[in-house]
Structures are given as C-alpha cells and as structure tokens.
A and B are shown apart, each in its own frame.
Chain A
Amino acid sequence: MIEFTYARASDPSHALLLGAAQDARFLGGGTNLVDLMRETVERPRELVDVTGLASGIEETASGGLRIGAATRNTALAEHPLVRSRYPVLSRAVLAGASAQIRNMATVAGNLLQRTRCSYFYDEDGSRCNKRAPGQGCDALEGLNRGHAILGASDACVAVHPSDMCVALAVLDATVEIEGAEGTRQIAFADFHRLPGDTPHAETLLQPGELITAIELPPLSNEARSAYRKVRDRSSYAFALVSVAAVLRLEGGTIAEARVALGGVAHKPWRAAKAEAILIGQAPSPELFRRAADAELTQARPLRDNGFKIELAARTITAVLSDIAGDAA
C-alpha cells in the first residue's frame, strides 16, 4: 500500500475543501476503494471520509424520495418507504455483494464502484486502458465471459458491476452533486458514460465534486416493478445479466414501460428500443421477447460472452411476464 493521509469531513463544504487537494479521494465504506488501493490500481494520497455526511432518507415535496449519499446500502434496502414504494430498488440492493459489504457500502460509493474486469485489477501483469489510458485493452481478445455486449468500444469492453444502479436507472433517478461552483443535478441515465476512447472517464463527475444525494421521482401506485439477477452462484457473485423493469398497465395495454439491464454494458443500460416497442401494446410473452430482441440487435458479442445475448433476451422476457402476471 502507498502511504496516504486520512481526514473526516464534517459537512459538504469541508469535504469539498479537503477533496480539492491533488490526488485526494472521497471515502465511503471503502469496500471498493480500499481494495483497489491494495492492488495499487488506485493511488490516492489523501482520503476524505464522507460517511459522516447526509445519510437520511426523506420524502420530497413531489412525493418522491431523497436519499443521502452516505446512506448505507443495507439502510436503503430496509427503509420502509423504499420497500413499499420502490421494491425494485430494495431488491436490487439486496441482490448485491454480501450482508457485511452492504452494511459498509454507501449509495454514492455504489454509484462510483469500478468495474470488476480482472485485467483492470491486475496492475502487475495486464494492460488496461481504463487503468492506464493508452496502454491497450487485454480483455478485448482475452478472457471476456463477463464483459459487455452493448455499447462497448475497442478501447474498453468492461461492464459496470452495480445492481443498485440498474434499479436507479429504471426509476429515472437524479444525482445531486456539489462542487466548487455550487450544486447541480444530473439525470441518472446521463451520469455514467460509455467507454468510447476514454474509458477512464466513467461518469460526468468532475474531480473534487461530491455526490450529496440521489432523488427518486414518485412512482405511480399502479406501476409494478421487479429486479432479477442472473449469476454463477446463488449469492455473492456479480451479475452476468440483470434486469430491472417497471410496467404500468391501463385497460389492458402497456401505458408505461421502463427496462434497464445490468452486467451488459459500461453503464446501467436503459433499453429504450425495447421500451418503445412495448408502449401501447397488449402485454404478452411474445411481445416481450420481440421487445428484448429489438434491444439486443445492437449487441456485439466477444469471444466468450455470446451467451449473454440470449440470456438477456430470456431474462427480460421473464421479468416482464412476471410483472404483467395474468395480464400477459
């Protein structure tokens, strides 16, 4: 480990002040950052602990929820308002990691957790554009069973590993950010970026900027949602494919459809093409499969991950059928 200093921020402005230093990094639960520091993939010189900052969950005026950035994953998943109004979020969080890790992990840290691509982690022996821009990508022609089928580039084929974020994507959340210039909001769908030529730039967050909260708009009482994660063992494994979906039916047709995929792209993937096909139609497994296939025509398999295309199509179909229930 490389030497670093540690300080605890008392409030957001204190955090911004401390975080403005060169090579400073905010520290949430440390479940990802500290791992990466041990591997020397991350080399901060100053850690600014932000777990003391806002961790409350409150109702907003519009009837949505405002979730403090330092809220622990467990607290989020267990919160009665989250469980009753946004079950998809609660389920997604609980599908991730282990109880111990969820007890430590914060919401902001979860958003900013980095890919599990093993070449990214292997500072000693592998090339990675995300870790060292311009170095090359060993995953592109290497072991890539867990890698992206959507939106990847030749520079990087990694996936975003979060479960929670797939639910946030489908819930149309916004991310509240504080920086030297004040506060701004970013739509969740825009927050994470596709790799393009700059896979090291993973989000729209600027250096020194602090995430302070996530806001969820209200979800109609008639809407039903679900999260499903497919993985290599029963628990404690990252998603090969995951699906979050929200459906609202009105008089036998689909009035609202939102679908997001995890484990398939550099960001939580909103399946806009699938959604477009669903709207206004009568729900049926055939329709769902057609929508899934429409989304996945853009998929580009790598050497080891071609199965993810069929797996994603099946999982989307199953999740939507499940939500639609007897209506489908």
Chain B
Amino acid sequence: MRGAATFAAEFAPENMAYAAVVFATIARGRVTALDIAAATGAPGVVLVLTHENAPRLKPMPLFMTAGKAGGGDDLPILQDAEVHYNGQPIALVLAETLEQAEHAASLIEATYEIDEAVTTLEAGKARGTRTGIAFGQPAHVEIGKPEDELATAAHRFEATYTTPRHNHNAIEPHAVTLYWQDGELYMHDAVQAVNHVAWSVGSVFGLGEDKVHVTSPYVGGGFGSKVLWSHQILAAVAAREAGRPVRLSLSREGVYRTVGGRAQTEQRVALGADAQGRLQALQHTGTVIMSAHNALPEPFILSAQSSYATKSMLLDIQVATLDMLANTFMRAPGEAVGSFGLESAMDELAERLGIDPIELRIRNEPEKDPMKGLPFSSRQVVWCWRTAAERFGWDKRQAPGLRREGEWLVGLGCAMAGYPYQRMPGGAAGITLTADGRAQVSVAAHEMGMGTSTVHTQVAADRLALPMDAIEFRYGDNALPGVVLAGGSQQTASVGSAIIVATRELVKELLQLAGNASPLAGLSADEVGTTHGGLASLADPQRYESYASILSRAGRFELSVVGQAPMPGEGMHWSMHSHGAIFVEARVNAVTGEVRVPRLTGAYDCGRILNPKTATSQLRGGIIMGLGAALMEETQVDPRNGRIMNASLSEYHLPVHLDVPDIEVIFSDIPDPVSPMGARGIGEIGITGVSAAVANAVYNATGKRVRDLPITLDKLL
C-alpha cells in the first residue's frame, strides 16, 4: 500500500473547474422559480447551469435497453422544470475551487409547485401494481398447480417477509474528471463498465462511442452502482459549456440523492410439503417498489428458481411505482433479499415439521434445474451443508430459547447461499508479446478492489507460462479490447475465456513465425503447449523454443493478437450456479434486545478458486454486507416528501469493525466442467443467505421470529 493509485477524482488537468450540484427537495412537481443571482455573482463562479440554459440533450439510454446502454434512469437531465424525485439535480455550479462551487450552490433558491407524490410501498400498492419485467421477461413463473398443491399439502407454511431500501456506500463516492478536445470527450471516471459509459454518454451527446474515451484505472468499490448516473452527464455538459476540464465528485449525500440503491421488497413465501418434508408447492410472490424510469424490479424470486425440488412453483413480482430515484443493481440483486424470505421460510417449515433444517434442505435437493429442467453443470450443495455444519459445530444447537450465558441468549442458525454463473457476450482480450519475453495483456475490464488485476495477471502468466512479473495486465480503458461489465460476478469468467482464446491465437501466430528453422517446425497449435516462456511439443517436450527466440529469429520486436471469447453458450445447455451453506451464531441481549454475531462459517462451492486470498476476501466482504443488511442497514425515507433522511455514514448504519465477527470461509474448489477455467464467479454470493441465517439464529436464541429487516433491538424487546 503506497497510496499512489490515481482515482477518478485525483486527475488534475490544467485549468480544471470544480462542480457542485443542487438537488431538488420535493418528491414530485416542478420548479417554478430558480434564483441564481447570488450564486452567479459569488466568488470564483464560472458557470451556473439550470434547465433554463442547459443545451438540449437526449436522456441516458436506460440500462439493458440496448447492448451497451448504461443509464440508471432515462429521465431528462436539466431539460425541463419537472421534478420526478427528491434529490433530482436541478442546477449545477462550476467554480474555480470546490469550496466556491459548494458555497455558490448553497445560495441557489428554488421555488416549487408541489404535486401529490406516491412515496411508500403501501401507497404504491393502493394505486395498483403491474407485473415486473426483469431481464426482458415478465417476472412470473408458474409450474404445475401451485395453488392446488398448496391447498392439499400435508403441511403448509406461509408468511410475509419485508426488506427495506438500501443505499450504495462504496468507499469512493462517484466521481468523474473530464474534458473535451476537438469534439471528443475524455473521461476519467469511477465506473465498472467503461464501454457502457462511453456508448451511453455518446448517445446522450450524439457522438459515436469512439469519440468518448473512458478510463477507470482504480475504482473504490462499485457493487452495481458505478455505471452511468446524472453526474457524469452534468459534468460533461458543464465542461463543454465552459470550455474547461471539470471535476465532479459527488459528496456522500450526493451519492444518496442521485445514485440509486436497492429497492424495498415485501415478499410472501408459501410452502406446501408432504409428510416427509418434500416440497409440493413453492410460492414466492410479492411487491417491490420502483420508479417509472428504470429497468430493474428487484428480482427477489431468483433464489427460488433453482434452490429446491418442488412439484409446483409460483413466482411473481409485482411492481408498485413510486415517485423516487431509480433503484438499481446492488450486490446480488434479487438473491440478497430474496434469500432472506425463502431461507427464513425453510427454517420455519423445518421447525413445524420437526426436521433438522439442513436435513429438510437436503431432502429437497433437485436433480435437475427445477424451473428450466436443465442439468446442473456442477452442484455440491450437500457438500456445503455437511462441511460447514461440521466446522461450525451444528450438533451443539438446542431448541429455541434454551441457551443463555449471563444476559445473552445464544442461538445458532443456517441458510443456503446461492448465485448463478453468468458470462455476458463481448469478452475479448489482447496479448502483445515482446522480444524481451514479456507480455502485455489488455482487456477493457475493471479493478474495483476485488483483485481483478492480480487474478488476471496470474491467469495470463499461467496460460503463457511466463513469470507473473513478466506480465503487464492493462484494464479500465474503453480503448482496450472487449466489452466486459464488472457485474453479475461475470468479469472473471468473461476475461478468462477471452485470455484462453487469445492465447490460442498467439500460439498459432507464433508457430507461423517460427517457420522451418525452429524445433517446432511442422507442429500444429493442438500439438504444442506453453511452457517455460515458450512453446514445446506436447508429445516431445525436447522440441522447445522460447517466445524471445521465435520473435528475434523472425526479426520481430513484438507480436499482437486479439482473441474474442466464444458466445456464452454454456448457460443455454446447463444450469450453472454457485452455492453455499452459511452458519451463524447470534447473541441476543435479554435486557436490551441488542443482537451481536460473534461467529460465522460458510462453505462455498464456486467452482475452481483462482486465487484463495482475493476470493476469500470477496466472500468476507459480501458476508459483512449481508450482516449489515441483517442487523442495521436501512435507508430512511420521510414519506411526506420522499426525502432520504439518513444520507450519511453517521446515520446510515453499516457494520463497524466491532460488528464483524470471526468469519470462516471454506471453498470446495471443485472445477466446474463447463465454465472457462472451471471458475464460476465469487463477487456476489457472499451477501446471499446471511440475513436469513442471522434471523434463524436469532429465532433459535429467543424463540422470536423477525420477518422484517433489519433486525434492530426494538423488534426483540
């Protein structure tokens, strides 16, 4: 750690001006007057931009509406007086210093005409819901006769679980430093999707994506939030109008006001089981909140799609439309909160049946994907349960409310974790080999602190049979090959599969260059392998030549290839998921209701683990985020004006060090036979299952079932 990494808000082009944003303070209505006189005259002010003087722009293309569309919403930005949510940018000030910009922004006075707004799930439901469209499909699944099966099942269990809104709190707030030159836009941006941003910003300004240059060398966490929101557009407009480079670094409050978070959910889970506990009906339905201008109904039904064998299934997401900032992707969208409902309900069913909760789940292990009917590529759920149970000491669990140590009631709980394997089209990698025996590997991928650059340096070194220090991994720049979203836990698979193809291309080209004078003469690409910084015959390793030797004999300084990853067909033939079993000890104070989690064990099957250190750290991070969701995270919105009232890290509670227990992470490390490199993605599974495991442990400690997150002490008094 040297503190030398340059983040987006640390680039300092000459003559740069600083931006500050003014946010609307009403939920719905319009700006009737905007007094900018004082701001315009304030010291250092370069420009005040409002809907009255901003140039005409197209809205951001909404995420998932086109291949590289990345907008968090598709609302107009400073195009009219309408206010669609509390926090919407209504003005921007550019000044010589950040302090001057912020001061001038504070002088802008807005007058509003206020319309009645819908700000709560209840009010949204009362106005009528619609079926959510998730990933292009109606979020509704019906298999068999779920109502009949539920009605006639030997055992029935049904309950409603609720989860609040969550906000993104990456350690680095969203920021961009940008400038225009000869009609082209250069952005240093904190993002997890350089190509999506380039294409989408281009579309707002009517530019080809080749005219928008996005680099994102280091990102201080993204979790789904760092794609494209209004601040990048505002900064680009301001820079163009002022003819100067601009830095716009959102304050923490600014992130809460203008970058979406996870939507609130109200989930009903109904389970019908036969006498042995085998599921006859699995119903997971409910309502999520959403704005009219975004693309993601929080898909809480994802866990239920593949977790358990069941005779019938009913899954459904209804959307209550609110006047609010667009919600968005947040680590394991769907599973993170959906697993709370489903895995709590499984625990409740197990108790009613008098079956151990692990046993109940194992009895319901599916042989093939219960929804798609596809075979699993690799499924080690039982291994996860058995391994984690033993490490954790599950046999010490007692009936609810029996174990007490002083003031503390102690309970144990468990839940299943799960996340699908994904690989999106567009993966590509470039490799440039130089005559000094070094290689540069380039992918438009992202390093957000999860270890991408380390892991892919390692992967490339392994593939090319070069030492790690001979590899330079370049990423975070849309000029590099590939369209690689750092999302859906798919980046590693996408990059890895591209590196495999690129290596193959490289081998072919090397063999051509090697020619007849080489010991490799006459061998085809299938007959050689990489070894010791060169190629050798697989049949006769004595036939070897180093890369350096091949290049120098051919008189070449370097050799470059680009490999395109094959279309991701694996997911069409196989049901591919990572799984885990997570165990929690919870302590509930009998006097105050305070909950503490001193111990947590998870066993995970995520395919092959490419780097145990970075992988474990990803899992731990996810688990800690899960603990936050379980015990304290909640965006507080005043229903009267739809305003987020805890827009700071002091009032929006995340776990502090003392809240983070001993976390033991165990990996199966069993390669997936179908995925590139045998790996399945590890970025998101960690958060899943945690809140249910905590709720189940709290129940075991106290005999009280909390079905509403977060589990704060007032719910246990």
Contacts and interface: CB of A to CB of B under 8 A. Distances in A.
Given A40-B106, A307-B714, A234 B638 contact: no
Given A1-B102, A125-B643, A307-B717, A233 B591 contact: no
B656 A234 contact: yes
A234 B102 CA distance: 34
Given A230-B713, A314-B592, A125 B659 contact: no
A311 B590 CA distance: 11
B592 A311 contact: yes
A314 B591 contact: yes
A26 interface: no
B99 interface: yes
A236 B636 contact: no
Given A1-B103, A236-B656, A318-B591, A311 B86 contact: no
Contact of A233 (B23, B636, B659): B659
Given A116-B650, A119-B645, A125-B86, A311 B640 contact: no
Given A230-B713, A311-B592, A124 B407 contact: no
A230 B594 contact: yes
Contact of B714 (A141, A143, A311, A314): A311
Interface residues of B, number: 35
Contacts of A118: 636, 645-646, 651
Interface string B187-231: 000000000000000000000000000000000000000000000
B25 interface: yes
Contacts of A236: 656
Nearest to A314: B591
A319 to B, nearest CB: 9
A231 B591 CA distance: 13
A125 B257 CA distance: 12
Contacts of B99: 1
Nearest to A122: B645
Contacts of B640: 138, 141-142
Most chain A C-beta atoms within 10 Å of own C-beta, residue among B591, B641, B651, B712: B591
B174 interface: no
A9 interface: no
A61 interface: no
Interface residues of A, number: 33
B39 to A, nearest CB: 13
Contact of B638 (A40, A143, A231): A143
A237 to B, nearest CB: 6
A23 B657 CA distance: 39
Contact of A232 (B23, B643, B648, B713): B713
Contacts of A317: 591
A232 B712 contact: yes
Interface string A280-298: 0000000000000000000
A174 interface: no
A230 to B, nearest CB: 5
Contacts of A318: 407, 591-592
Contact of B592 (A126, A145, A233, A315): A315
Contacts of B712: 232
B504 interface: no
A310 interface: yes
Interface in A187-244: 230-237, 240
Interface in B124-140: none
B368 interface: no
B632 interface: yes
Contact of B25 (A125, A142, A232, A311): A125
B631 A233 contact: yes
A124 B717 contact: no
Contacts of B658: 233-235
Given A125-B643, A315-B591, A233 B717 contact: no
A232 B646 CA distance: 14
Given A122-B645, A124-B23, A235-B656, A143 B713 contact: no
Interface string A116-155: 1011011011100000000000100111010000000000
B25 A124 contact: yes
Interface in B655-679: 655-659
B593 interface: yes
A2 B102 CA distance: 9
Interface in A99-129: 116, 118-119, 121-122, 124-126
Most chain B C-beta atoms within 10 Å of own C-beta, residue among A2, A121, A124, A126: A124
Contacts of A116: 650-651
Contact of B713 (A2, A124, A126, A311): A311
B713 A125 contact: no
B103 A2 contact: yes
B653 interface: yes
A237 B103 CA distance: 30
Nearest to B643: A125
Interface string B498-511: 00000000000000
B262 interface: no
A230 B590 CA distance: 12
Given A118-B645, A125-B643, A142-B638, A233 B103 contact: no
Interface string B562-603: 000000000000000000000000000001111010000000
B645 A235 contact: no
A318 B593 CA distance: 13
A237 B23 CA distance: 27
A143 B643 CA distance: 11
Contacts of A138: 638, 640
Nearest to A238: B650
A40 B646 CA distance: 17
A236 to B, nearest CB: 5
B650 A230 contact: no
Contacts of B641: 125
A143 B645 contact: yes
Contacts of B106: 2, 40, 124
Given A230-B713, A232-B632, A311-B714, A237 B653 contact: yes
Most chain B C-beta atoms within 10 Å of own C-beta, residue among A233, A237, A315: A233
B632 A233 contact: yes
Contacts of B643: 122, 125-126
Contacts of A141: 640
A311 B593 contact: yes
B634 to A, nearest CB: 10
Contacts of B717: 307, 310-311, 314
A70 B593 CA distance: 37
A234 B659 contact: yes
Contacts of A230: 592, 594, 713
Given A119-B645, A311-B717, A233 B25 contact: no
Contacts of B714: 145, 307, 311
Nearest to A1: B99
B638 A233 contact: no
A3 B102 CA distance: 12
9 cross-chain pairs, A with B, having the tightest CB-CB distances, nearest first? A125-B25, A234-B658, A307-B714, A235-B658, A118-B645, A318-B591, A230-B592, A236-B656, A234-B659
24 contacts: A1-B99, A116-B651, A124-B23, A124-B25, A124-B106, A125-B86, A126-B643, A138-B638, A141-B640, A145-B714, A230-B713, A231-B594, A233-B631, A233-B658, A233-B659, A234-B656, A235-B657, A235-B658, A235-B659, A307-B713, A307-B714, A310-B717, A314-B591, A315-B592
Given A126-B645, A142-B638, 17 more contacts: A1-B102, A3-B103, A118-B636, A118-B645, A126-B643, A138-B638, A138-B640, A143-B645, A233-B631, A234-B656, A235-B656, A235-B658, A235-B659, A310-B717, A311-B593, A314-B592, A318-B591
Interface of A: 1-3, 40, 116, 118-119, 121-122, 124-126, 138, 141-143, 145, 230-237, 240, 307, 310-311, 314-315, 317-318
Interface of B: 23, 25, 86, 99, 102-103, 106, 407, 591-594, 596, 631-632, 636, 638, 640-641, 643, 645-646, 648, 650-651, 653, 655-659, 712-714, 717
